[in-house]
Amino acid sequence: MIFQERIDLLVGTLSPLGMKLAVDPSAGFFTLWMAPKTAFGEDIQDTEHFNNIMIEKAGVVGIPFGSYTRYAVTNDIKAMGEKIIAAFKKANVSY
């Protein structure tokens, strides 16, 4: 139950900030997101590039997972909410 709540919170946070889910998660410990075409005003080459730029410029760590970025929900998403919002606002992703 706690992980579903965290998934719902993360999806509810990232979706309005422009991120697009690759798969609608129904349970588990992570979410999968499509890599955007641009972030931080730069063209994104692939998922690995997106992950690296998010680490470098916003401190957000995801895992390249094929053509998707995987974000885990094993930590307290609610407690990190303001930092997550600030990071993705700064990234200003677009598809």
- For residue 27, is pLDDT > 80? no
Categorize the per-residue pLDDT at 52 as very low, low, confident or very high, splitting at 50, 70 and 90. very high
Number of domain units in the chain: 1
Instruction: Give 81-93 pLDDT, tens digit per residue.
Output: 999 999 999 999 9
Ordered DSSP codes for 63-91: EEETTEEEEE--S-HHHHHHHHHHHHHHH
Output the domain CATH number for residue 78.
Answer: 3.90.1150.10
Q: What is the dihedral of CA 24, 85, 58, 79, to 10 degrees?
A: -90
69 vs 89: CA distance, rounded Å:
17
pLDDT at 41: 97
Range of the structural domain that residue 61 is part of: 2-91
Among 82, 90, 86, 88, smallest CA distance to 18 is for 88
pTM of the complete model: 0.91
What the block records as the tokens of 66 is 């094929």
